[in-house]
Structure 1
């Protein structure tokens, strides 16, 4: 090999090395949703025919996420109301509800305590966010109550199974909840007296799955299920 080729080869290697070390890398886009990318609103009174006390979570982040929420009841001045216990129907205060990226998730709040009538609003703090492997915005269909013959029946009477259709192009896991409501005084929103989880089911892409209820879930379903709802849940193995 001639001296000229050695020099040219060394210059080529030097150019490559300078190119590699001299180029600064663009900052990587974060691939998990952060707490400040979750936008949460509370509606005390729903429109006619819709549930009251609904919490809506909008996920503007890049990944599906299961947040754990801390919920503080407030009066009309925005001050915390002591002595009020907050319950959730779906479990957003326990990190059970998944909100897909660019999608919405929901929960239903219930309050108990001597000063519930003072309640006007809530303050919500995101304590933790766990990323979940859903790729697309997920739409969750309402469950259908099924009788012992696996035929559709009313949610208000006894039923022994639930049917849910997956409207999405990926597998989903959903939790099924039966909510029992009170009859509130005039001007007050309905309160969920109890919210019973009837089961968790995984549904393949664009399929419909019917799942029988356990005996305890059938007992809950026999006590006038005012609302039969599904929420997006964490898939098994996540």
Structure 2
């Protein structure tokens, strides 16, 4: 399929409180869910390539893991190497695009942290499970990322410094829920980071 069906916009900081930084907004104009494989070049404020900065993603649009529905979706970018704080934009190259074997819904699957008794708690506490809720008319399959954010000085975008998968690929029924228990490396990450730093629990369409 033509790579021109995809377009991109990078938002380093939206300026809105309690929103994630370093977001890659994807727009898919193809009338089906697709799986992109992207590569990136980091650019400074003068649109010069920052050749020592490596760009990777949280949701996997650079490794064929993210499923992008028709319309809008997003990924989170991570920068490393000398000059990582100078990134003002990114140049995106579509290496490959395929039709998804599992369609994505139009709405984001939401997450809710649960304690060991199944009660709702905030994501900053030490949670034992995550409840996924799907608003769409079709079943979807998602992965969960537990993200630890750094605490940068003013004027520097907040970066995902640690990303841990919770569970595996999980099917969420149409207009339904699924519960994923926190085990192994994910449980260790939650224990290490609870009641402290800024964290997010994000579900993203995958296959």
Length-normalised TM-score, structure 2: 0.91
SS at structure 1 position matched to 2:110: coil
Structure richer in strand, relative to its length:
2
Following superposition, the deviation at residue 185 of structure 1 comes to: 1.6
Q: Deviations over 1:20-59 (max 9, x none)?
A: xxxxxxxxxxxxx531011111001122210010011111
Matches of 1:150 and 1:202, distance apart in 2 = 19
* Correspondence for 1:51 among 9, 20, 24: 20
For the residues of structure 1 that align with 2:149 and 2:105, how far apart are their CA atoms?
Answer: 30
Shift of 1:227: 0.9
Aligned residue number for residue 231 of structure 1: 204
Gaps of 5+ in 2: none
- 1:208-223 superposed matches below 5 A: 208-222=177-191, 223=193
Report the equivalent of 1:146.
Answer: 114
In structure 2, the residue corresponding to 1:178 is in which secondary structure? strand
Judge conservation of contact 1:175–1:231 (CA < 8 Å) in 2: yes
Q: Rg: which structure is higher?
A: 1
Instruction: State the alpha-carbon separation in 2 of the partners of residues 147 and 88 from structure 1.
Output: 29
Count of residue pairs the alignment pairs up: 201
CA distance 1:136–1:82, shift in 2 (3 Å):
closer
Aligned to 2:57: 88
* Cα deviation 1:76-126 (Å, max 9, x = unaligned): 12121011122211111111111112x222111111222123221100111
Runs (4 or more) in structure 1 with deviation over 4 Å come to 133-137
Q: Is the 8 A contact 2:103 2:140 kept in 1?
A: no
CA distance in 2, matches of 1:95, 1:136: 14
Secondary structure in 2 matching 1:52: coil
Unaligned runs of 5+ in 1: 1-32
Cα deviation, residue 142, structure 1 = 2.1
Could you tell me how far apart the structure 2 residues matched to 1:82 and 1:133 are?
Answer: 35
Counterpart CA distance in 2 for 1:78 and 1:196 is 32
* Alpha-carbon distance in structure 1 between the residues aligned to 2:206 and 2:99: 12
C-alpha distance 63-34 of structure 1, shift in aligned 2 (>3 A): farther
- The higher relative CO (CA closer than 8 Å, separation ≥ 6) is in 2
Equivalent residues in 2 for 1:149-160, closer than 5 Å: 149-160=117-128
Give the whole-Å Cα distance in 2 for the aligned partners of 1:177 and 1:58. 22
Structure 1 residue 136: Cα displacement: 7.3
For 1:124, which of 84, 92, 95 is the aligned residue?
A: 92
From the two aligned structures, give the one with the greater helix fraction.
1
TM-score between both structures, scaled by the size of structure 1: 0.80
The residue number in structure 1 matching 2:163 is 195
Give SS of 1:83's match: coil
